[in-house]
Amino acid sequence: MGLGSPDDAVVYRMENGTLLVATADFFAPVVDDAYTYGAIAAANSISDIYAMGGTPFLALNLAAIPSDMPPEIAAEIFRGGMEKAWEAGVVVAGGHTMDDREPKYGLAVVGTVAPERLLLKSGARPGERLILTKPLGSGVITTAYRAGQASPEALAQVVPWMLRLNRDAVRAIHATSARGATDITGFGFLGHAVEMALAAGVRFRVRAEEVPILEAARPLADLWLFPGGTAANEMYFRQWVTFDPSVPQEVRMLLYDAQTNGGMLAAIPAAEMARFTDACRALDQPFWEVGEVIEGEPGIEVVR
């Protein structure tokens, strides 16, 4: 993918025709537990390969560790990352660690994809159904938790979702002929949806009441405990988004909430929804149908 059409990862065609997919991501802790943090960061980094329809196989650690952090804590971060990578069939070999005040961790990941399995932000076509494979709310919950405003129980609602690989979601998408997909991360559901709609030159109609939102996120959204990234998403992407007046302000903001290792957003041909549903059931992969792709001015309209 060239810089003119930004996507989730870089794709490089090798001399034998194989497409190599490469990406890198790292971030500061989103949870207190070092092992869980490492695992979430790894799942998040690997997700960009899945988002392109690829199969990851090799990764390098990228880390910043404070000089006063106990070595056993740092080791737990790396162990969490390595075991999550292993679950994804990815070997972590080496990498680089630097010294910094705030810890950071993630992976540079390489995978391959067959040309006919490539998933692109530009792949959505009018008439297709929009599906989302994880509920929203990780941004507001982790931010509120760090500020002492959310309970451990609230955090526990979101951790399993942040730990979950997007591998099975992509397997289910690949059971269909769908070509339009991306993963939901920092730009939030609406930010990434805008990217897909603009890249494909289509309009998305999203039904706000069908978009899954973690229960624990709702009271925190009422208190407006959103991260700065969520506010930035709203300020930038709102030029392409319209809302039905009945959609509450805090729900609008949850749709913009910056996510950590969020789910896949994909456009599935309507005639293949049954096949997609069967594939998800076989893989024990939840999904929600949240809207459809329509013709019209590129952007998003959010209805009730």
Partner 1 sequence: MAKVVDARGLSCPQPVLLTRRAIEEGQFPIEVLVDTATSRENVRRAAEQAGLQVQVEVIGDEFKLTLRR
Q: Which long-range contacts (CB under 8 A, 24 or more apart) does 18-21 make?
A: 18/112, 19/54, 19/112, 19/113, 19/114, 19/115, 19/118, 20/110, 20/111, 20/112, 21/49, 21/52, 21/54, 21/56, 21/110, 21/111, 21/112, 21/113
Pick 25 or 250: Cβ nearer partner 1 = 250
Selected binder of partner 1 within 35, 78, 226, 276 (CB under 8 A): 226
Minimum distance from residue 134 beta carbon to partner 1 (Å): 22
> Binding segment for partner 1 among 24-32, 40-48, 205-213, 221-229 (CB under 8 A)?
221-229
Is the distance from CB of 23 to CB of 8 less than 8 angstroms?
A: yes
List all residues 6 or more positions away from 70 whose beta carbon is below 8 Å from its beta carbon. none
Neighbours of 20 (CB within 10 A): 15
Q: Is 143 in the site for partner 1 (CB under 8 A)?
A: yes
Pick 147 or 271: Cβ nearer partner 1 = 147
Minimum distance from residue 58 beta carbon to partner 1 (Å): 35
Pick 114 or 235: Cβ nearer partner 1 = 235
Burial 191-215 (b: 16+ CB within 10 A, else e): bbbbbbbebbebbbebbbeebbbbe
Pick 139 or 269: Cβ nearer partner 1 = 139
Is the distance from CB of 138 to CB of 72 less than 8 angstroms?
A: no
Pick 93 or 223: Cβ nearer partner 1 = 223
Of 239, 55, 84, 77, residue with least CA distance to 163: 84
Q: Is 5 in the site for partner 1 (CB under 8 A)?
A: no
Pick 161 or 226: Cβ nearer partner 1 = 226
Residues in contact with partner 1, counted by CB under 8 A, come to a total of: 19
* Residues in contact with partner 1, shown as a per-residue x/- string from 231 to 250 under the rule CB under 8 A: xx-xx-------------xx
Q: Is 100 in the site for partner 1 (CB under 8 A)?
A: no
Residues that bind partner 1 (CB under 8 A): 143-144, 147, 149, 222-229, 231-232, 234-235, 249-250, 253
